[in-house]
Amino acid sequence: MNPYGTWGLLRLASPQLPIGGYSYSQGLEQAIESARVSDADSAQRWLHDQLLLNLARFEAPLLLAHCQAAASEDWVRLERLAEQHQASRETRELRLESRQMGYSLRQLLDGLPELDELARALFQRIEDPGLALGWALAARAWRIDAEEALAAWLWSWLENQLAVLMKSLPLGQQAAQRLTSELLPVLRQAQQHASDIDPDNWGSAAFGLALASMAHERQYSRLFRS
């Protein structure tokens, strides 16, 4: 029996989880600056494409694999996946984001009694844990199913992107909720694709995102970290 139940899942997906996800826009702020995203319709297209053409093809299945390996105590595979995730960060900004959030998750979990000794030892063994590794070990600590941990990660990604839109576009709360309704089926589609895709077919070529992220590193005025 899981003593944390649904509470652990809500805790992991909560924007109050102190890992700093709200500090990053993942290139969206630059897309707004360059007018590639200028209203609710273009925002919907940007988020839709990121979910299905990028996250569902690589980020999401890789994170799911992290969670599955942590749950099954396959530490060798988990370390290999963590290295793969770290190597896949295409820009300085994306690497720093993953590194900072992974570090914050390690600091958080290290001070909590839920993290078991095997997971704690792995966490300490890796010099620069990324977000995917931290997320997987948090899911293990709070006994969250791997598929549910993936759903929580997808939800937190969407919630963060909507927060960026509301601060930078700007987009009103009603419009953001309308976008949420439109994109919930896309979240489900991305989750399903991530669960079904063969590891040999993992990969995306998100050139637009990489270019937006690199440009954001040099953007003169910005609200979000680079």
Q: What is the pLDDT of residue 1?
A: 56
Among candidate residues 89, 54, 62, the one with its CA nearest the CA of residue 78:
62
Residue that is written with structure tokens 């078991």 in the block: 116
Give a yes or no: residue 10 inside a domain.
no
Range of 172's domain? Answer: 25-212
Entry pTM:
0.92
Tokens of 77: 């595979």
**In angstroms, rounded to a whole number, what is the distance separating the alpha carbons of residues 72 and 154?**
22
Give a yes or no: residue 102 inside a domain.
yes
**In angstroms, rounded to a whole number, what is the distance separating the alpha carbons of residues 207 and 87?**
16
Q: CA of 58: how far to CAs of 36, 183, 189, in Å?
A: 23, 19, 14
**In angstroms, rounded to a whole number, what is the distance separating the alpha carbons of residues 42 and 132?**
28
Give a yes or no: residue 64 inside a domain.
yes
Q: Is 170 exposed, middle or buried (0-12, 13-18, 19+ CB in 10 A)?
A: exposed
Domain CATH number, residue 184: 1.10.4190.10
Averaged pLDDT, groups of 10, the chain, 226 residues long: 77 83 83 92 95 94 97 95 91 88 90 90 87 94 94 94 92 94 96 95 84 78 69
- Quote the mean pLDDT of the chain: 90
Give a yes or no: residue 11 inside a domain.
no
Give a yes or no: residue 226 inside a domain.
no
**In angstroms, rounded to a whole number, what is the distance separating the alpha carbons of residues 127 and 139?**
20
Residues 190/56, Cβ–Cβ less than 8 Å: yes
Give a yes or no: residue 55 inside a domain.
yes
**In angstroms, rounded to a whole number, what is the distance separating the alpha carbons of residues 123 and 176?**
36
Tell me how many domains the chain contains: 1
**In angstroms, rounded to a whole number, what is the distance separating the alpha carbons of residues 96 and 65?**
22
Give a yes or no: residue 118 inside a domain.
yes
Q: Is 179 exposed, middle or buried (0-12, 13-18, 19+ CB in 10 A)?
A: buried
Q: What is the pLDDT of residue 27?
A: 87
Give a yes or no: residue 220 inside a domain.
no
Amino acid at 162: L
Q: What is the pLDDT of residue 225?
A: 65
Q: 11-21: string of b/e by CB count within 10 Å (b at 16+)?
A: ebbeeebebeb
**In angstroms, rounded to a whole number, what is the distance separating the alpha carbons of residues 217 and 225?**
8
